[in-house]
Chain A
Amino acid sequence: MPLSDLFAPVKLHIPDGFLSPLVSVVGWVLAVAAIAYALRQTRGQLGSKQIPLMGVLAAFIFAAQAINFPVAGGTSGHLLGGTLAAIILGPWAAVLVMTAVIGVQALLFQDGGLLVLGFNIVNMGVLTAFTGHFLYQALKRMLGTGRSSLLAAGAVGAWLSVIVGAMATAVELAFSGTTPLGVALPAMAGVHVLIGIGEALITVGALGFIFATRRDLLDLGEKAPAKATANWVGVGLGFALLVAIFSFAASRQPDGLERVAEDTGFLGTALDPNYKLLPDYTIPFIGNELLSGILAVVVGTLVVFGIGWVVARIQAKSAA
């Protein structure tokens, strides 16, 4: 590992040991579900081109992550690639491409652990792809399909995708008892507000180039299958993001959810010498509304995902 890696922007690849067993398992469940769905979706979309196209693009993302640019004082900006992949290929294919990249990084280079790989895939593959995709599509609808609109949409999508991935990482670390949420969330989100700019710049540069040379490649992502499902997933994420932002800004008065948590002893239990599978929240938060805010995010996201899934299935069944 070169010395420069120590000064590189905080990477989102979580190593083994930093997430609790329960959180790791949840991560795997989510990742497997996303991958399975993605496999089904993309087979229909790409046919026999599926494997060579996604394989080579996975190699591309991997290689592209090495093209960095100096930012300041020895640090450099570089690409994660989830949004770019989602814009070019559509979100589900992007999930597969990023899974391949992140999986191999973990297997071959120990960049990220194996047990925690589930959430690494979710954070850096699924969340980034869908956040980027949804924002890109939404902004395109608002701004039009001219060159500058596409670039602006891509920039915002890329920027936010990194922040969302970072926030998710922070939440997972907090739920594992590794880092208090009040430290992790602002730190990760804050840092990635800056790092996301690098992602946005490179994504925009790439999109501009592709727009100028082979615009038809951008259309490939447009025709991505089950756009309805993808949009619902995007809506869920957008909702979650909004709630997260609001919970940050929320007042410091304990709300109902938190009162319940206090009453049931969920908060403030003493650290037991014997290990519990569920980590305790004796870690003092900067403000307890953060916990309730995050719980709201999680609950809200699950609810919207659930609705979206059901709706999409109903739509699919009625269309079939």
Chain B
Amino acid sequence: MATIEIHDLKFNYPDGHPALLGVSLTVKPGERVALVGPNGAGKSTLMLHLNGILQGQGQLRVCGWSLDNGHLGQVRAAVGLVFQDPDDQLFSPTVYEDVAFGPLHMGLPVAEVRQRVDRALRAVGMSEYAGRVSHHLSVGEKKRIAIATVLSMDAQLLVLDEPTAGLDPRARRGIINLLRELPQTVLASTHDLLFVRELFPRMVIMDKGRIVADGATAALLADQALLEAHGLELPR
């Protein structure tokens, strides 16, 4: 059973501007896939379809659920979407409450919520931050907590929008190490090709609303012409 099954997904913005022009993608459980491409290629738009925030035309099944059947609740419990700007992700007064939001919304008993929060914070190495106010933390710390907020929901699929953007080298290394340990299926959009090379065996290139390449990272990164054609640069 594939975690993501997309066939010919099309989506236009409300003002008519086409964002996705027929995207097809299959991701199997446990895979790590990087989504790369220039800004405006449609990466974020595609990701917002994976938990039903945006709804386009075409076939879309995520974690076995079909999104057009009104299974949004189950999908959102299974898909952990981490936004690019952690400030958007963290909307509760304290770290604890943010990480607890998911399980609480799912109606889990308080004892289990507590357990999950502790586990999630430990997984991202932020256990001592439980009582802190998210607003005052550094970007790196916020990004980790943002990841914890979806881990506490026991999401099967992690969808990360630019997880290393805006991080200093130490924080970036921390995120990479963290992601390496996680067992979930991961789909991450990013401009950081070194990050891709290190952590993602498979790479999908998007440009102008379409997928233009989908294959082994090593092979694609070796194809200079392909990278250049789609605005990508591998730092030497």
Contacts and interface: CB of A to CB of B under 8 A. Distances in A.
A complexed with B: yes
Contacts of B136: 213
A209 B135 CA distance: 10
- Please tell me the size bucket of the interface on B: under 10
A208 B93 CA distance: 8
Interface in A83-114: none
A1 interface: no
Nearest to A210: B93
Interface residues of A, number: 4
Nearest to B92: A209
A215 to B, nearest CB: 11
A66 B25 CA distance: 35
A216 to B, nearest CB: 14
A212 B133 CA distance: 7
B158 to A, nearest CB: 26
Interface string B57-98: 000000000000000000000000000000000000110000
Contacts of A208: 93
Interface string B111-136: 00000000000000000000001011
A209 B94 CA distance: 9
A212 B92 CA distance: 11
A168 B187 CA distance: 55
Contacts of A212: 93-94, 133
B135 to A, nearest CB: 5
A208 B133 CA distance: 12
A297 to B, nearest CB: 39
A193 B133 CA distance: 33
Contacts of B135: 213
A223 to B, nearest CB: 24
User: 9 closest A-B pairs (Cβ-Cβ)?
Assistant: A209-B93, A213-B135, A212-B93, A212-B133, A213-B133, A208-B93, A213-B136, A212-B94, A213-B93
Given A212-B93, A212-B94, A212-B133, 6 more contacts: A208-B93, A209-B93, A213-B93, A213-B133, A213-B135, A213-B136
